[in-house]
Amino acid sequence: MEVEIAKEWRDLLGDEFEREYFKELIDFVGLEYSQYTIYPKESNIFRAFDKCSPQDVKVVIIGQDPYHGEGQANGLSFSVAEDIPLPPSLRNIFKEINSDLNTPIPSTGELDRWAEQGVLLLNSVLTVRQNSAGSHAKKGWEIFTDSVVRRVAEHNNGVVYMLWGAYAQKKAAFVDAEANCILKSVHPSPLSSYRGFFGCKHFSKANEYLQSMGKLPIIW
Protein backbone atom coordinates (compact mmCIF):
# COMPACT_ATOMS: atom_id res chain seq x y z
CA MET A 1 0.00 0.00 0.00
CA GLU A 2 1.32 3.44 -0.97
CA VAL A 3 1.40 6.14 1.72
CA GLU A 4 0.08 9.36 0.23
CA ILE A 5 0.39 12.24 2.68
CA ALA A 6 0.93 15.96 2.14
CA LYS A 7 4.59 16.90 1.62
CA GLU A 8 4.62 19.31 4.57
CA TRP A 9 3.64 16.49 6.91
CA ARG A 10 6.10 14.07 5.34
CA ASP A 11 8.84 16.63 5.93
CA LEU A 12 7.73 17.24 9.53
CA LEU A 13 7.52 13.54 10.38
CA GLY A 14 10.87 12.79 8.81
CA ASP A 15 11.95 9.17 9.05
CA GLU A 16 8.74 8.00 10.76
CA PHE A 17 7.65 6.29 7.55
CA GLU A 18 10.89 4.29 7.42
CA ARG A 19 10.62 2.86 10.92
CA GLU A 20 10.02 -0.87 11.16
CA TYR A 21 6.72 -0.57 13.05
CA PHE A 22 5.29 1.66 10.30
CA LYS A 23 6.32 -0.69 7.52
CA GLU A 24 4.65 -3.57 9.38
CA LEU A 25 1.56 -1.42 9.97
CA ILE A 26 1.21 -0.54 6.30
CA ASP A 27 1.65 -4.18 5.30
CA PHE A 28 -1.12 -5.13 7.75
CA VAL A 29 -3.46 -2.37 6.57
CA GLY A 30 -2.86 -3.17 2.91
CA LEU A 31 -3.72 -6.82 3.54
CA GLU A 32 -6.87 -5.82 5.43
CA TYR A 33 -8.07 -3.67 2.51
CA SER A 34 -7.55 -6.61 0.17
CA GLN A 35 -9.58 -9.01 2.33
CA TYR A 36 -12.25 -6.97 4.15
CA THR A 37 -14.30 -3.80 3.93
CA ILE A 38 -12.16 -1.18 5.68
CA TYR A 39 -13.00 2.43 6.54
CA PRO A 40 -12.30 5.08 5.51
CA LYS A 41 -11.64 4.39 1.86
CA GLU A 42 -7.93 4.05 1.21
CA SER A 43 -7.55 7.47 -0.41
CA ASN A 44 -8.92 9.12 2.76
CA ILE A 45 -6.66 7.48 5.37
CA PHE A 46 -4.47 10.60 5.62
CA ARG A 47 -7.16 13.12 4.66
CA ALA A 48 -6.89 14.98 7.98
CA PHE A 49 -3.33 15.91 6.99
CA ASP A 50 -4.33 16.96 3.48
CA LYS A 51 -6.90 19.36 4.89
CA CYS A 52 -4.69 21.03 7.50
CA SER A 53 -1.01 21.87 6.98
CA PRO A 54 1.28 21.52 10.03
CA GLN A 55 2.18 25.21 10.08
CA ASP A 56 -1.53 26.11 10.11
CA VAL A 57 -2.57 23.93 13.07
CA LYS A 58 -4.42 25.99 15.68
CA VAL A 59 -6.56 23.28 17.33
CA VAL A 60 -6.06 19.53 17.68
CA ILE A 61 -9.11 17.34 18.31
CA ILE A 62 -8.33 13.67 18.91
CA GLY A 63 -10.77 10.85 18.27
CA GLN A 64 -10.29 7.14 18.87
CA ASP A 65 -10.77 5.20 15.63
CA PRO A 66 -12.88 5.88 12.53
CA TYR A 67 -16.61 5.24 12.39
CA HIS A 68 -17.12 1.61 11.39
CA GLY A 69 -20.59 1.93 9.83
CA GLU A 70 -21.12 2.00 6.09
CA GLY A 71 -20.28 5.32 4.46
CA GLN A 72 -19.58 7.18 7.72
CA ALA A 73 -15.80 7.62 8.05
CA ASN A 74 -14.24 10.25 5.81
CA GLY A 75 -10.74 10.58 7.26
CA LEU A 76 -11.46 13.39 9.73
CA SER A 77 -12.16 12.50 13.35
CA PHE A 78 -15.86 12.83 14.30
CA SER A 79 -16.75 13.98 10.75
CA VAL A 80 -19.15 12.31 8.32
CA ALA A 81 -20.09 13.07 4.72
CA GLU A 82 -22.89 15.55 3.98
CA ASP A 83 -25.57 12.95 3.31
CA ILE A 84 -24.86 10.79 6.39
CA PRO A 85 -27.03 11.20 9.55
CA LEU A 86 -25.19 12.71 12.51
CA PRO A 87 -23.62 10.04 14.74
CA PRO A 88 -24.45 10.44 18.46
CA SER A 89 -21.06 11.83 19.53
CA LEU A 90 -21.05 14.44 16.77
CA ARG A 91 -24.63 15.38 17.57
CA ASN A 92 -23.53 16.01 21.17
CA ILE A 93 -20.57 18.08 19.98
CA PHE A 94 -22.95 20.25 17.98
CA LYS A 95 -25.29 20.54 20.98
CA GLU A 96 -22.43 21.81 23.13
CA ILE A 97 -21.38 24.34 20.47
CA ASN A 98 -25.00 25.50 20.25
CA SER A 99 -25.16 25.96 24.03
CA ASP A 100 -21.68 27.48 24.31
CA LEU A 101 -21.75 29.90 21.37
CA ASN A 102 -25.49 30.20 20.66
CA THR A 103 -24.97 29.13 17.06
CA PRO A 104 -27.40 26.90 15.13
CA ILE A 105 -26.82 23.14 14.93
CA PRO A 106 -25.53 22.38 11.41
CA SER A 107 -27.53 20.18 9.07
CA THR A 108 -24.41 18.31 7.96
CA GLY A 109 -21.69 16.55 9.90
CA GLU A 110 -18.96 17.23 7.36
CA LEU A 111 -16.20 19.04 9.26
CA ASP A 112 -13.99 20.07 6.35
CA ARG A 113 -14.79 23.67 7.25
CA TRP A 114 -13.05 23.20 10.62
CA ALA A 115 -10.00 21.50 9.11
CA GLU A 116 -9.59 24.29 6.57
CA GLN A 117 -9.41 26.80 9.45
CA GLY A 118 -6.56 24.94 11.17
CA VAL A 119 -8.33 22.24 13.19
CA LEU A 120 -6.43 18.94 12.96
CA LEU A 121 -9.13 16.28 13.28
CA LEU A 122 -6.91 13.36 14.21
CA ASN A 123 -8.01 9.86 15.11
CA SER A 124 -5.53 7.87 17.21
CA VAL A 125 -6.14 4.90 14.90
CA LEU A 126 -6.65 5.76 11.23
CA THR A 127 -8.41 2.65 9.89
CA VAL A 128 -11.04 0.14 11.05
CA ARG A 129 -12.75 -2.98 9.76
CA GLN A 130 -16.46 -2.62 8.93
CA ASN A 131 -18.72 -3.11 11.96
CA SER A 132 -15.74 -3.93 14.19
CA ALA A 133 -14.76 -1.04 16.46
CA GLY A 134 -11.15 -1.11 17.59
CA SER A 135 -10.21 -3.82 15.08
CA HIS A 136 -7.08 -1.93 13.96
CA ALA A 137 -6.04 -0.80 17.43
CA LYS A 138 -2.60 -1.76 18.75
CA LYS A 139 -1.27 -2.43 15.26
CA GLY A 140 0.97 0.64 15.16
CA TRP A 141 -1.33 3.55 14.39
CA GLU A 142 -1.11 4.80 17.99
CA ILE A 143 2.69 5.04 17.71
CA PHE A 144 2.32 7.04 14.51
CA THR A 145 -0.27 9.47 15.87
CA ASP A 146 1.73 9.90 19.09
CA SER A 147 4.57 11.03 16.84
CA VAL A 148 2.26 13.41 14.99
CA VAL A 149 1.19 15.10 18.23
CA ARG A 150 4.78 15.19 19.47
CA ARG A 151 6.05 16.85 16.28
CA VAL A 152 3.19 19.36 16.19
CA ALA A 153 3.92 20.26 19.82
CA GLU A 154 7.63 20.65 19.07
CA HIS A 155 7.07 22.99 16.12
CA ASN A 156 3.93 24.92 17.10
CA ASN A 157 3.17 26.84 20.28
CA GLY A 158 -0.14 28.44 21.16
CA VAL A 159 -2.16 25.44 19.99
CA VAL A 160 -5.41 24.30 21.64
CA TYR A 161 -5.63 20.56 22.35
CA MET A 162 -9.17 19.31 22.94
CA LEU A 163 -8.80 15.96 24.67
CA TRP A 164 -12.11 14.22 25.28
CA GLY A 165 -11.99 11.00 27.26
CA ALA A 166 -9.12 9.08 28.85
CA TYR A 167 -7.96 7.65 25.52
CA ALA A 168 -7.35 11.08 23.98
CA GLN A 169 -5.95 12.53 27.18
CA LYS A 170 -2.95 10.21 27.01
CA LYS A 171 -1.66 12.41 24.20
CA ALA A 172 -1.26 15.32 26.64
CA ALA A 173 2.03 13.73 27.70
CA PHE A 174 3.61 15.06 24.48
CA VAL A 175 2.44 18.66 24.88
CA ASP A 176 3.96 21.54 26.88
CA ALA A 177 0.96 22.73 28.90
CA GLU A 178 2.57 26.11 29.56
CA ALA A 179 3.11 26.88 25.88
CA ASN A 180 -0.28 25.63 24.72
CA CYS A 181 -3.88 25.28 25.91
CA ILE A 182 -4.98 21.80 26.96
CA LEU A 183 -8.73 21.34 27.41
CA LYS A 184 -9.92 18.05 28.91
CA SER A 185 -13.35 16.57 29.46
CA VAL A 186 -15.18 13.27 29.23
CA HIS A 187 -15.95 11.94 25.76
CA PRO A 188 -19.01 13.35 23.94
CA SER A 189 -20.45 9.84 23.60
CA PRO A 190 -24.02 9.46 24.97
CA LEU A 191 -22.49 7.13 27.57
CA SER A 192 -20.49 9.94 29.17
CA SER A 193 -21.53 13.33 27.76
CA TYR A 194 -23.73 14.21 30.75
CA ARG A 195 -20.80 13.69 33.12
CA GLY A 196 -18.97 16.81 32.04
CA PHE A 197 -18.88 17.24 28.28
CA PHE A 198 -22.07 19.27 28.25
CA GLY A 199 -21.16 22.60 29.78
CA CYS A 200 -17.40 22.26 29.24
CA LYS A 201 -17.45 25.36 26.97
CA HIS A 202 -14.35 24.16 25.14
CA PHE A 203 -15.27 25.98 21.95
CA SER A 204 -15.51 29.45 23.47
CA LYS A 205 -12.43 28.74 25.61
CA ALA A 206 -10.50 27.70 22.51
CA ASN A 207 -11.42 30.88 20.68
CA GLU A 208 -10.59 33.08 23.65
CA TYR A 209 -7.17 31.46 23.88
CA LEU A 210 -6.49 31.75 20.15
CA GLN A 211 -7.41 35.42 20.20
CA SER A 212 -5.15 35.98 23.21
CA MET A 213 -2.34 34.53 21.07
CA GLY A 214 -3.13 36.91 18.20
CA LYS A 215 -4.79 34.22 16.08
CA LEU A 216 -8.14 34.22 14.35
CA PRO A 217 -10.86 32.30 16.22
CA ILE A 218 -12.44 29.22 14.69
CA ILE A 219 -15.88 29.60 13.15
CA TRP A 220 -17.41 26.51 14.72
Q: Which residues are catalytic?
A: 65
| Nearest-angstrom CA–CA distance, 206 and 58 | 9
| Nearest-angstrom CA–CA distance, 33 and 103 | 40
Question: CA angle, 94 as apex, 97 and 79 as ends, to 5°?
Answer: 125
Please give the single-letter amino acid code of residue 42: E
CA atoms within 13 A on the CB side of 198: 12
C-beta separation of 94 from 193 below 8 A? no
SS3 143: helix
CA neighbor of 74 nearest in space, from 89, 82, 185, 190: 82
